[in-house]
Amino acid sequence: MGVSNSVVRVSSLTKRYGRATAIDDLTFSLDSGTLTGFLGPNGAGKSTTLRLLLGLAEPTAGEALVFGRRYRDLDDPASQVGAVLESNDFHPGRSGRDHLRALALAARIPRVRVEEVLEFVQLAKAADRLVGTYSLGMRQRLGLAAALLGDPELLILDEPANGLDPAGVHWLRTFMRRFASQGGTVLLASHVLAEVAQTVDRVLIIHCGRIVAAAGLGELAERGGTLEDAYLELTAMEAS
């Protein structure tokens, strides 16, 4: 992997909360145009890694860079990185359109773009309803719309298919593949191995705060067995 054109570069990243180590000396990078699955058991450190990448948390040691800089040092973060971390980061008493408009104003994105992303995620008709009345699938799509507002080059998604119906899952997969084929980069954290196996080019598997595998799906297949076999074997080990 070329270091120079890395969209994401994580080096010796460590995060401790008191005496507990959530992330332990993590190193990986993502090149542009790749679609990477980020896998690991609950509590393995996936969410912490994503928060460190996005500047919501400060690393104890090491660094997490996007486009060669810390997230908070990006000049126009919305145009470079789009993220969905939780499926329910909305005020239930605000409409979907107003949620997006408030974010668009803060990121200096023209109002017409709000309507574009609403159309794109098929929420235009529900846009004036309060988010409290949305189904989980609609909230996921609203979160994705927010991530896409700035037309970013990197997408960081945590369980984006959660709550989507089969047609929605298919739509999301098609979208992510096209996004990557056009040079975009996707980091997709998920538990749903079957879905990940159908979608990504490569996987990062994290266990107890450490990367235990970083490989293309093809390489894993050569070792024999499915992604699930490899995942279960790698995450069954006790961390040292």
Partner 1 sequence: MTALLRSELLKQRSTRTNLWLFSAMLGLVALVILLHGFGLSAEILGRRTSQLEVLGQGQRLGTLFAALLGAMSITVEFRHGTIRPTFLATPRRGRVVAAKVGVSMLVGVPFGLMAAAVAAGVGSASLAARGLEIRLDGGDYALLLVGSAAGAGLWAAIGVGLGALVRNQVPTVVGICTWLLLVEGLLFGDIGLGNVGRFLPGSLAKAASGQDPMTLLAPGLAAVLLALYAAAAAAAGWAATTRRDVA
Residue at 43: amino acid letter: G
Q: Would you say 55 and 81 are in contact if contact means Cβ atoms under 8 Å apart?
A: no
The two three-digit tokens of residue 220, written as one number? 């894993």
Task: Name the residues that contact partner 1, by CB under 8 A.
Answer: 51, 54-58, 71-72, 74, 77-78, 81, 83, 85-86, 88-95, 98-99, 101-103, 105-108, 146
Cα(139)–Cα(136) distance, integer angstroms: 5
Cα(199)–Cα(195) distance, integer angstroms: 6
CB of 57 to partner 1, least distance (A): 4
Cα(128)–Cα(95) distance, integer angstroms: 5
CB of 229 to partner 1, least distance (A): 34
Q: Would you say 64 and 53 are in contact if contact means Cβ atoms under 8 Å apart?
A: yes
Choose between 31 and 98: whose C-beta lies nearer to partner 1: 98
What SS3 state is found at 133? helix
CB of 51 to partner 1, least distance (A): 7
φ and ψ of 119, to 5 deg: -60, -45
Q: How far is CA 25 from CA 22, 135, 142, 147, 161, in A?
A: 10, 39, 34, 28, 29
Q: Would you say 152 and 80 are in contact if contact means Cβ atoms under 8 Å apart?
A: yes
Choose between 76 and 119: whose C-beta lies nearer to partner 1: 76
Cα(128)–Cα(96) distance, integer angstroms: 6
- Using left for φ > 0, alpha for ψ between -120 and 50, and beta otherwise, residue 41 falls in beta
Q: Is the dihedral of CA 130, 133, 134, 136 positive or negative?
A: positive
Choose between 81 and 213: whose C-beta lies nearer to partner 1: 81
